[in-house]
Structures are given as C-alpha cells and as structure tokens.
Structure 1
Amino acid sequence: MSLFARKNIDDLQADAFSEGEHSLKRELGVGNLISLGIGAIIGTGIFVLTGTAAAQHAGPAIMLAFVLAGIACVFAGLCYAEFAAMIPIAGSAYTYGYATLGEIVAWIIGWDLILEYLFGAATVAAGWSGYVNSILRDIGIDLGPAWTNAPGHLVQTPGTNSWVRHTDELAQSLAAQGIDINTLPQANGMFNIVAALGIFAVTVLLVLGIKESARFNNVAVAIKLAVVGAFILAGGYYVLTHWSQSIDHWTPFIPANTGPRQFGWDGIVAAGGVIFFAYIGFDAVSTTAQEAKNPQRDMPIGILGSLLICTLLYIIVSGIMTAIVDYPALNVAEPIAVAIEATGYSALAKLIKVGAIAGLTSVMLVMLMSQPRIFFAMSRDGLLPPIFSRLHPRFRTPHISSAMTGLACAALAGLYDVSTLGHLVSIGTLLAFVIVCGGVWYLRVKEPNRPRPFKTPLVPLVPILGMVTCIFLMSRLPREAWERLVIWLAIGMVIYFLYGRRHSVVQRLHRQAHDVEPPRPTYTSGDSR
C-alpha cells in the first residue's frame, strides 16, 4: 500500500457539487463567507492575544509583529484561494494535501488541524470568559478566581480585578514599577467553568444548522465591527488629546532585548509567531467550501477579502491600545477592556466588553464549525470511524462530531490558559500553511494544465515565500510548543497506522487496482489452442 496515494481531483470536483441527503447544504454567499472570515479573524487577536504578546514579547512594536504575521498570511491566503476555488469541498488543507502530496501528508494535516480549530476555539473561550467575568463583576457578581481560571497559581494585578497567572516575567515587570508581587492577592485556579459553558452554547447552535449559525455570526460580526470602530474613534481621540502620555508609552518603541523571545527584534518575531493565531480565520472559510453557493468565484473573495480588512484593523487597534496603557499592564485576558477603562470613558468600557463577547463568540462559532467538517471529510475517506461523517436527518449537520468536538473543547478551555493553548495553536496552524503552500507549487509542476478558477500569482515565488515565512515564525516559538507538536503528531501517526490506513477508501481502491487479475484470453472455435 502506498503512503502517498492521492485522491483524484476530478472525483473530488464531482463530489463537491453532488446533492443529496448525505451532502452538506449550499447556503453561503460571498457576504456570508467574508463575514465568517472576519468572524474568525477579528476577535482573539484584538481582544486577547494583543495584550499578552505586547506584554511578553514585543511591547509597542506589536504593530510590526502584526505586519509580519499579515505578510505571511497573504502568501498562504493566495495559495488557499487557489485550492478552495479548484477543489471546493469540506476538508480545507486536509483535502488539498490529499489531492496533491498523498494520504500520509493529508493525515498529518488533518490531525494537525485539530490543533488549529479545536484547541483554537478553547483558546478563544478562555479569553471570552475574561470579558464575561469582567461584565459580571461590573454588575456585582463575582464568581471568584477558582472557577473562572485554569488550574495554576494566580495573582491579582494592581488596580484591576483581573487574575493572571503568576510568572517570573510578571514579577520582573511589577518589580520594575516598585511593586513586590508577593504583596498582591494570591489564589489558585481550578477549572474555568465560564469558558466551558460558552463552548456548550455555541455547540448547540452549530448542531441546529449552518444557515442559523451563519445568521448568528452575521449579527455578532456587525456588533463586533461597530465596537472596534468605536474603540478606534474614542481611543484615537484619547491618544491625540494625551499625546505626551502616548509618546511615553510608545518609548522605546522597540524595548531592549531582555532574553530569548523577550523584546527587541527577536521579541517582535516571537510575537509574530504567537499572534499568527489571530489570523487563522481566513483558512476556516475554506472548510465551508462545500456549503458555498458559488465556491469557485466566492471562496477567493471570502478568504482574501476578510484577511486584508482584518490586518488593517489589527495594526490600528494594537497601536492605540499600547498608546493608552503601558504595555506591561496588558498581560491580562481582557486587554482592550483594560485599555478603554484607562481612558475614563466608563460607558464605552461596558460597550467594548459587550462587543468583545460578541466578537469572541463568533470566533468560537467559526472554529467549532470548521473542526467537525474536517472530521467529516476524514471520516468519508475512511481515516476516521463512520460516526464522524453521520449527518442529522433534519438539520444535515455533522451533529455527533460537533457534540464530541464541543465536549473536548470545553474540557480544554476549562483546564488550560490562553498562553499555553495559543502557542500550540500557532505552531499547528503554521505547519498546515507550509504544507498548503507546498501543495500549490507541487500541483503546478505535476498538473500545469489543470483548470484553475483562481491562480496564485508568481508561482513558485509566492508559495516559497509562504513556506519560508511560516517556517521562520515557527522557529521563534517556544521549545515547549515544538515538544507538544511532536508528541501530538506521534499520537496521530499511531492512530493512522492502527486504524486509518486499514480503513482508508483510497488504500482499498489501490489494493483492488493491484489485486485484479489480468483478463484471460478468449477463443473462438476457429482458434488454435
């Protein structure tokens, strides 16, 4: 059996446009696709990771980190757009890898995408809970740190009600301000039940149907963009009217390097690797290709349009945020709330929190929508058990895999913090992007004349730049992220060889093609024997 057996692209294209009770509904137009992309992209980067990346890695130069990560995403996005238009089927990078580089590579991508979507949704839920808890405290409800944080030693930051993980970096930052971390309130986290409940609610919505989920997402995206716009206007006004303070917060723009991946140019690159997680929404669009009305035209628009809009917003918001608040104070789960509260615009602060909750909810929705569709594609190929491709008889959604994904994600969201999950998600996403870029280049050489509704420009330059940029960002992530990636992929390979390879549809067809005996010659009565 060949580990590099490929799926036939013509068969994939025929399957993409098949209709029936075992196929997904085509309900999404170009507006829905752009909205889904924005729904996944605008959220974690602005509302959660901007603060931690600035505080731990880049300082005010977080803006440059967003530029770096955005450039890498443009290269990968162009490659995704070509594949999504040519092979408009559920499965995203997994399916693209199967059609170009073979089954073993497809399995690696599919298993790796669990890090991107399932772990990604858990990361978002951890940040989402920070904003929910902040609003609850505003109305006099304090659930306490034990059941609103992942397990670990916590400290309450000065001047806020936010609890953050006790780290050496935080202690050093506070010491520089003349604050002994041991004099601050201490607590221990047990399980983030708020994050888990958020995942459960989104999972129920996804089971009810793609159209209902898309409508909810459209409303959430509208609220989110309105709130981001309000923050830009109000925050920008505050920066201009407090210009000397803003300059102080931006100085030095690139803080001096204090260790590996801590500030300086090394820290900017490290921050680029961390916040790369914030951009993964554009490839989540490609997982809905089999539910798009006109995928060959609309998928490239949805992917690239959402990516370009969001990159600009990221740069503006991160610049305003670090101008309002000195960057060490942004190492919290709700940095944008901390920034707007520092302006004194109390009414807007509450509005920002509501918008952040809506925004992060839409991110969770898109990610939890994407993961079961990866499982759906892998199950139909025989690499996962049939239960993962079972559709609800009424809603025609992968309800069982959605429920299983939701349960696993809720457990992760409750047990791990944003930073731990964020690093793992970033390295998994970057690996998937490397393989997709390589797949475009390979297929251009292997099948140069195949019709492509959208063509990545400047091949092989763009795919090569995409691979190099992503590998470079991967190299700057912590060693722990690499160790966890290797362990995760090793677990995946065990599952593949014990189950996936034995039940693979492509491998079965490959065996049948090689086991068929050649036809015996037939004779007529006049033939000699």
Structure 2
Amino acid sequence: MSAPGGRPSSNTGVFRRKPIEQFETPEAGTGLHRTLGLRQLTAIGVGGIIGAGIFSLAGAVAHETAGPAVLISFLIAGIASAAAAFSYAEFAGLIPRAGSAYTYGYAVLGELVGWFIGWDLLLEYTAIVAVVAIGISGYFNDLLGFMDIKLPLWMSGAPGTEPEGVASGSYKVNLFALLLCLLIAYILNQGMKSAARFETFLVYLKVALVVLVVVVGAFHINTGNYENFFPFGLSGAFTGAATVFFAVFGYDAMSTAAEESTDSQKHMPKAILYSLAISMVLYVLACLVLTGMVNFTEIDSESAFSSAFRTVGLGWLGVIIAVGAILGILTVLFTFLMGATRVGYSMSRDGLLPKWFSGTHPVRKVPSRMTWVLGGSAAIIAGLLPIGEAAELTNIGILLAFVVVCVAVIVLRYRRPDLPRTFRCPGMPVVPAIGVVFSIWLITFLKPETWLRFAVWFAIGLAVYFLYSRRNSVLGKQNTPDQPAE
C-alpha cells in the first residue's frame, strides 16, 4: 500500500505508525473510567518521585560520593529529568491515551520501537515494585526488632539473604514483601477513584513528614558543616547526579494514566511539571537540612534522617520518620504498578499482547487481569530474589524510554507542526536533546550484568514480536488509510 505521490505507506512493515488522530477517542466499551483530576494526578506523580530517594539515597550519596554537594547532585539530576519531563508533557497533552512512552513511540517512531519500549517498561516497572517492596520489608523488620518481635526465619527474607549468625537455607521467602505487592494490586483493582484516594492520602502524609523534617531540622543546622562543600570535587557532584537521577523520575509512570484523567490534554502536562517541581523543592530543602545537621562524614547511609535526629537528642522524631517512611514509600509501589498495568493494557488492546490481558472489570473499568498478572509477578520477584538481583532488572528500560520520548517529540514537532498542542516543549530541539544526551550518559554507568539481562529480555521480546505481535497487531489488520501528508 502506498501513500499519495508514490510514497510508501507509514502503515506497513515493522515501523508502521498509528496516526495521531486515532488516539483521540478510545474504542467503544474498551476505555477506562476518567476519574482523575489535576490534584490526584499530581499526587500520583509526587508519590512516584519521592520515595526511598529522600529517606535513604540522599544520605548515602552525601556520605560516600558528594558530601554537602549532594544538593548540587539533585539539582543536576532535576534539570536533566526536567528536559525529559517537558517532552512527556507535550505528548501527554497531545495523546490522551494510556501507555505513556510505549504509545508515544508507537505513534511517532513505529510499531517495533513502541513494542520494545513497552516490553522493557513491563519488566522495569514490575521490578521497581518488587525492589521497593523488599526495601519496605527491611524497614518493617527493623521496627519489629525495635519492639522485640521476631518473625519465623522461613518468612523473613529471600533465600540466600540470611545475615551473619543465621544458618544458610533458613530463609525461604520474603513473605511481607510478597504480600505487599499483592495488597497494592488489590487496591488498584478497587477502581481508580478509590485507589487514587488511598494514594493521595499517603502522599499528603509523606509531604507533611518531609516538611516536619525540614522545619524541625532547620533549628539544628550548624553552618560549619557546609564549609567543605565539595569534599569529593565537582566530579563527585556529577557522579552523585547519576546516582540520584533514579530518584527524580516517576512522572513517566504517572503519565500512563492519561486515559483515566477527566481532562488529560489540560491536566496531564501540568501534573507532570507540578509533581517534578514539588519533589525537587522538597529534595533540595531536605538535603540542606541533612548536611547542615550532621557532618557528611558522620551521616548514616541507611537511615540518614533517623540517625541525624538521634544525634541532636530527638530520637522520638527518628521513630516517626521510620514509620512515615514505610507509609510514604508505599506510594512508589502504587505509581509504578499502575504504570506497568497501563502499558500492558495498551499493548494488549493494540494486539501486540493477547487480547485476554486487556480485559477490564465490568463495573470498575480497570485492567484487572493485567493488574493481577503483574502484581503477582512483582510478588514472586520480591519474595524470592535478593534486593540486589531485583534492582539490576531496573533502570535501563526507563532511560531508553526517556531517549525515545525526547527523540520522538523532536521528530513529531517537525513532521506534524499542524497538530494542536495544549503544551509545547520549550527550547526545541535543545531541551529534548539534553534529555537524550543525559539519559545515554547515565546508561554508561550501568553494570555489565544489567546489559546482559537487558539483552536477554530484548531477545525474548524480539521472538515474541515476530512470532505473535506482528501478525496480530490491530494496526496491521486494519489496513488504515494513510496519514496526512508529512
């Protein structure tokens, strides 16, 4: 099939593209309930961004990599993340459909590119849920120890994670982490409106906790702790930026809920930018307080704020922080499991995964089958793998998604300048190009094992695409009329 003038159609081959106009309205009876307003969307974004990064990562980077310049690390990472966020915001206002980077890549760069981004995000988001659940279980076990409560050894951790003094083979499963993943899947299946209320409440609690830390901690700052601001040099601040970058995304997963927004084209771009801005302000203030209260050489890498307040005689606040951290980090589980299910749902609806996965609850209109499948997968990973092995499954797919979205926004701006955009990425093409360069730079920091796992997952995805997805693609079967002239 050819387009007018003899041009090859954009709807043939593995790089066929779904016209932007087809994304405007979901097929009858297959859409999701539009229940999320600007406040709920922003809360979901903040919930995905602020998590373990502010409660533990900031302290670890300050102690080991950047010193007080951890503040600069967060600012550098925030600027780089903002470059990608602007690109996401333009697409979110243009394509009000579930799927985020998968959908954007499919529409602009073709089906094969969209497939691989979706395939990668399924693994990355699910693994993030598992990693965070394992981390929360660690806080939970510490609190139980504080109260002299001991769990049976068989349910205390994944096999091979036994601490010194515990016989090898005593641990069978991290039961708390496993059940936590299933609990989040259950909450998401209660309907997006109810689930968003739960998420919003926890986000408010988390933000209140961070504000409490900042306000109380400000009275205990010793400005002398800032004197050696770059103890590891400027390079330490840049190395720290590569580490903390993974604490300043989350809006990408939130953008997968575009189809559940009451006014996606207006609210989604604002929610992406608001959530990143709010989170960056809180990160910067928290870093100032932490490195001002305690000399960077004395910061506890694992429980930075709790130990910092103990050193100034406020141990009771440290306990509140520990409890609040557990509740606050739950929002990360919610955001990324929601993101994974919406990506999988979109791929299934497009025929790239079996249609069974895109089944929705008849009343609540949520992708219940995909939610349970991915929630169960996260539970298995969290229950049976050490946190290090689970963490190695994350990061690379999200960075590649950033690259694809930033490239796609440039391509589409010049290919289809006529499209009505409710938000336009500023500084085109420089700003999205910064997002591309920074993401590729961060990819070079990943371990060889991460590349190996990615290569294996990539190969599996390639086989699935050519054996199933290409032949069952809805777009491929539609013989859709050609796109507007480009």
| Conservation of the 8 A alpha-carbon contact between 2:306 and 2:315 | no
After TM superposition, the structure 1 stretch with the greater mean CA deviation from structure 2, 137-146 or 228-237, is 137-146
Match of 1:159 in 2: none
Distance 2:430 2:180 in 1: 42
Distance 1:344 1:489 in 2: 52
- Say which of 298, 303, 324 aligns to 2:294: 324
The alpha carbon displacement at 1:422 in A equals: 4.1
Alpha-carbon displacement from aligned partner over 1:165-188 (angstroms, at most 9, x marks no partner): xxxxxxxxxxxxxxxxxxxx6776
Match of 1:237 in 2: 219
The alpha carbon displacement at 1:132 in A equals: 1.8
Match of 1:22 in 2: 30
Match of 1:38 in 2: 46
Distance 1:125 1:461 in 2: 38
| Conservation of the 8 A alpha-carbon contact between 2:470 and 2:476 | yes
Residue type of the partner of 1:310? S
Check if 1:68 corresponds to 2:37: no
| Conservation of the 8 A alpha-carbon contact between 1:235 and 1:320 | yes
Q: How does 1:87-486 map to 2 (within 5 A)?
A: 87-143=95-151, 147-152=155-160, 190-240=172-222, 247=225, 253-256=229-232, 265-322=234-291, 323-324=293-294, 326=296, 330-332=300-302, 334-422=303-391, 424-486=393-455
After superposition, the Cα gap between the structure-2 partners of 1:330 and 1:150, relative to the gap in structure 1 and judged at 3 Å, is farther
| Conservation of the 8 A alpha-carbon contact between 1:108 and 1:489 | yes
TM-score, scaled to structure 2: 0.89
The alpha carbon displacement at 1:116 in A equals: 3.4
The alpha carbon displacement at 1:59 in A equals: 4.2
Residue type of the partner of 2:148? G
Match of 1:499 in 2: 468
Distance 2:57 2:378 in 1: 19
Is there any run of 5+ residues in structure 1 with no aligned partner, and where?
157-184, 257-263, 515-529
Measured on the aligned residues, the alpha-carbon RMSD in Å equals 2.5
The alpha carbon displacement at 1:255 in A equals: 4.5
After superposition, the Cα gap between the structure-2 partners of 1:446 and 1:495, relative to the gap in structure 1 and judged at 3 Å, is same
Distance 1:147 1:486 in 2: 33
Q: Secondary structure at the match of 1:302?
A: helix
| Conservation of the 8 A alpha-carbon contact between 2:348 and 2:358 | yes
Residue type of the partner of 1:101? L
The alpha carbon displacement at 1:105 in A equals: 0.5
Alpha-carbon displacement from aligned partner over 1:161-214 (angstroms, at most 9, x marks no partner): xxxxxxxxxxxxxxxxxxxxxxxx677665322211211111111111101100
Check if 1:6 corresponds to 2:32: no
Residue type of the partner of 2:109? L
Distance 1:26 1:81 in 2: 19
Alpha-carbon displacement from aligned partner over 1:453-511 (angstroms, at most 9, x marks no partner): 1111121111111101111122223333223222222222122112111211112234x
Q: Secondary structure at the match of 1:142?
A: coil
Distance 1:269 1:419 in 2: 23
Q: Secondary structure at the match of 1:239?
A: coil
Distance 2:298 2:124 in 1: 28
Distance 1:425 1:491 in 2: 17
TM-score, scaled to structure 1: 0.82
Distance 1:273 1:424 in 2: 17
The alpha carbon displacement at 1:26 in A equals: 0.6
The alpha carbon displacement at 1:84 in A equals: 0.4
| Conservation of the 8 A alpha-carbon contact between 1:235 and 1:324 | no
Rg (Cα) greater in structure = 1
Alignment identity in percent?
40
Distance 2:309 2:152 in 1: 23
| Conservation of the 8 A alpha-carbon contact between 2:14 and 2:110 | yes
After superposition, the Cα gap between the structure-2 partners of 1:416 and 1:153, relative to the gap in structure 1 and judged at 3 Å, is closer
Match of 2:3 in 1: none
| Conservation of the 8 A alpha-carbon contact between 1:100 and 1:442 | yes
